[in-house]
């Protein structure tokens, strides 16, 4: 972790446990009615580290952490790193089968958390308020840059999640890239509603507090709570995955909230739906910024903060190199040509578990294969069209689901949607749209909208109406789940 970290870096406490002036010991964290100064978090961290140490936790081990959004998550993260151990982040949404698979894959030595499903599978230190413990002044272990710091799990849109291993040095680079890209500093105030076990939530928590900023955690996403706290806490940067952006745009009284403290809204995890972003800006006056990252390489690109181009995810941040290669030949292509996005950076993961997944993750010349499809223009602006594994191939043409989804989102009756392909006898694949609506609308009307807007090979063969679009916490649509539930071979 960066040596300048004020909260999460394993190192000597930066605050004075005895208090001090507000400037020397600022408030850094809020959760419901609770408030924490830096010295309080340092003391809680030292106490929990001492308890973990007494249970046998030491440098080089892996510690499973399964926690809801709460301050104790941050305390546990710091305490594990303080002892020189690596944290294995388990989603609190997982059931026993998923947790068991993750534990079998990563083989942690100890566990801490607030989820009974983890306690049922291995001995777990309950994640309550750490109590004073003998040895709380245990000196911190200086992290080895090449040593494991955190293991997160990939999104798993196409199968079982893989464990993504990040070293202290690489994750510190990712934090620095995010801090510089967002220009975060001590005056910034953010709130986190996404799970901290996901790379986006983790990166935001670490980066804000490393920057000396202020953070509010929420148990879960609630649109009224989110908007109210932008106003009352004077939030300066709001992170919004697709479901949050959709909820903001659809809020009937958005204009009643004072959002003037926001420097920008950040659209994360999925390509921007222009109609949704433009609706929010029209009603609130706040503009959007886009960025692009992955569990394996947390920050690849970021847009211009003062004049974002929402049809792109920006340019590569300093420290990251990008190239586009042909989906057919794997050879680099010219600017403007579509292909797989590949990257090199000191912030890239150390590798996957299981290890045999690494063979497909990197090219022979050591470029990380993102699995995303897009193109770079001559000025280096990156546009993402879709995931390589989710591209639909119709009569030899590559069809990007996100492009069709953007058209469907433009219909006033469409609340959410996801597009996927099904086998087709003549065309190879046919295009199916799963749609959740605000009011009844004929499927033919939605199909006609797509036909009027896009090339003929992108037409919909079927519209399936669903109650909700299943999504990961990151906002990514689970097209695989929809395909398994509603897809079938088409001969239309």
d(CA 153, CA 163): 5
Q: What is the pLDDT, as a whole number, of residue 219? A: 93
Tokens of 195: 């799970």
Which pLDDT tens digits describe the chain residue by residue (492 residues)? Answer: 333 333 443 333 333 333 345 778 999 999 999 999 999 999 999 999 999 999 999 999 999 999 999 999 999 999 999 999 999 999 888 888 889 989 999 999 999 999 999 999 999 999 875 566 666 678 889 989 999 999 998 854 444 578 999 999 999 999 999 999 999 999 999 999 988 888 999 999 999 999 999 999 999 999 999 999 999 999 999 999 888 898 999 999 999 999 999 999 999 877 788 888 999 999 999 999 999 998 899 999 999 898 788 889 999 999 999 999 998 899 999 999 999 999 999 999 999 999 998 988 999 999 999 988 999 999 999 998 877 778 787 876 668 788 899 899 999 999 999 999 998 877 778 999 999 999 999 999 999 999 998 878 889 999 999 999 998 777 788 888 898 888 765 555
Phi, psi of 2 (to 5 degrees): -60, 140
Distance from CA of residue 130 to its chain's centroid?
28
d(CA 26, CA 37): 5
Residues 6+ apart with CB under 8 A from 220: 69, 193
d(CA 40, CA 466): 48
Tally of CB atoms within 10 A around 155? 18
Q: What is the pLDDT, as a whole number, of residue 490? A: 58
d(CA 177, CA 248): 28
27-192 under CATH 3.10.129.10, yes or no: no
Q: What is the pLDDT, as a whole number, of residue 396? A: 61
Q: Dihedral sign, CA of 179, 180, 185, 191?
A: negative
Return residue ranges of the chain for CATH 3.40.50.12780. 27-192
Phi, psi of 94 (to 5 degrees): -70, 150
CB 71 within 8 A of CB 159: no
Phi, psi of 301 (to 5 degrees): -140, 160
**Residue 328 CB-density burial (10 A; 0-12 exposed, 13-18 middle, 19+ buried):** exposed
Extended strands (E) in 357-443:
368-376, 382-387, 392-394, 397-399, 414-424, 428-437
Q: What is the pLDDT, as a whole number, of residue 18? A: 37
DSSP string, 30-63: EETTEEEEHHHHHHHHHHHHHHHHHTT--TT-EE
CATH fold for the domain made of 391-486: GMP Synthetase; Chain A, domain 3 (3.30.300)
* Cis preceding linkage at 299, omega within 30: no
Tally of CB atoms within 10 A around 416? 21
CB 148 within 8 A of CB 167: yes
Return residue ranges of the chain for CATH 3.30.300.30. 391-486
d(CA 33, CA 217): 11
The 351-353 sheet, strands edge to edge: 125-126, 110-113, 62-66, 86-90, 148-153, 163-167, 351-353
Residues 6+ apart with CB under 8 A from 103: 64, 121, 122
d(CA 432, CA 464): 7
Report the Cα–Cα distance between both ends of the chain, in Å, rounded: 55
Tokens of 73: 């998550």
Q: What is the pLDDT, as a whole number, of residue 273? A: 81
Q: Which residue, 370, 382, 410, is CA-closest to 271?
A: 382
Beta partners for residue 374, in sequence order? 339, 384
**Residue 221 CB-density burial (10 A; 0-12 exposed, 13-18 middle, 19+ buried):** middle
Parallel/antiparallel/unpaired status of strands 148-153 and 86-90: parallel
CB 42 within 8 A of CB 215: no
Tokens of 18: 């005895």
Can you give the C-alpha Rg of the chain in angstroms? 23
């Amino acid at each position: 972790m960066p040596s300048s970290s004020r909260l999460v870096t394993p190192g000597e406490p930066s605050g004075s446990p005895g208090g001090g002036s507000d400037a020397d010991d600022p408030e850094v964290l809020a959760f419901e009615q609770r408030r924490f100064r830096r010295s309080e978090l340092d003391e809680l961290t030292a106490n929990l580290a001492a308890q973990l140490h007494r249970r046998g936790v030491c440098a080089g081990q892996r510690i499973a952490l399964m926690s809801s959004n709460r301050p104790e998550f941050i305390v546990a993260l710091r305490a594990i790193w303080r002892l020189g151990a690596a944290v294995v982040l388990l989603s609190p949404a997982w059931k026993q089968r998923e947790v068991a698979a993750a534990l079998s894959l990563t083989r942690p030595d100890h566990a801490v958390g607030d989820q009974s499903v983890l306690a049922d599978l291995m001995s777990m230190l309950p994640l309550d308020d750490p109590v004073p413990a003998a040895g709380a002044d245990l000196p911190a272990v200086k992290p080895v840059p090449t040593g494991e710091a955190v293991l997160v799990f990939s999104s798993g849109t196409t199968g079982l999640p893989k464990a993504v291993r990040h070293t202290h040095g690489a994750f510190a680079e990712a934090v620095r890239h995010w801090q510089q890209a967002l220009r975060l500093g001590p005056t910034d105030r953010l709130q986190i509603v996404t799970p901290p076990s996901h790379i986006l939530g983790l990166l935001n928590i670490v980066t804000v507090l490393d920057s000396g900023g202020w953070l509010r955690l929420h148990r879960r996403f609630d649109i009224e709570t989110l908007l109210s706290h932008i106003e009352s806490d004077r939030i300066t940067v709001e992170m919004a995955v697709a479901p949050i952006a959709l909820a903001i745009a659809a809020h009937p009284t958005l204009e009643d909230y004072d959002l003037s403290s926001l420097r920008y809204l950040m659209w994360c995890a999925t390509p921007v739906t222009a109609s949704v972003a433009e609706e929010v800006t029209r009603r609130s006056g706040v503009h959007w910024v886009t960025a692009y990252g992955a569990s394996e390489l947390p920050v690849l690109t970021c847009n211009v903060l003062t004049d974002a181009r929402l049809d792109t995810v920006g340019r590569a941040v300093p420290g990251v190199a990008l190239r586009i290669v042909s989906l057919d030949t794997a050879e680099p292509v010219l600017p403007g040509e579509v292909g797989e996005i590949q990257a090199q950076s000191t912030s890239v993961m150390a590798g996957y578990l299981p290890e045999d997944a690494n063979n497909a993750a990197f090219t022979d010349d050591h470029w990380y294969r993102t699995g995303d499809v897009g193109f770079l223009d001559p000025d280096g602006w990156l546009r993402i069209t879709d995931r390589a594994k989710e591209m639909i191939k119709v009569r030899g043409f590559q069809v990007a689901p996100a492009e069709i989804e953007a058209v469907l989102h433009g219909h006033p009756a469409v609340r959410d949607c996801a597009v996927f392909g099904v086998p087709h006898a003549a065309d190879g694949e046919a295009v199916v749209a799963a749609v959740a609506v605000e009011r009844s609308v004929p499927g033919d009307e939605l199909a006609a909208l797509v036909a009027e807007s896009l090339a003929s090979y992108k037409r919909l063969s079927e519209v399936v109406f669903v109650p909700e679009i299943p999504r990961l916490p990151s906002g990514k649509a689970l097209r695989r789940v929809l395909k398994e539930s509603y897809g079938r071979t088409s001969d239309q």
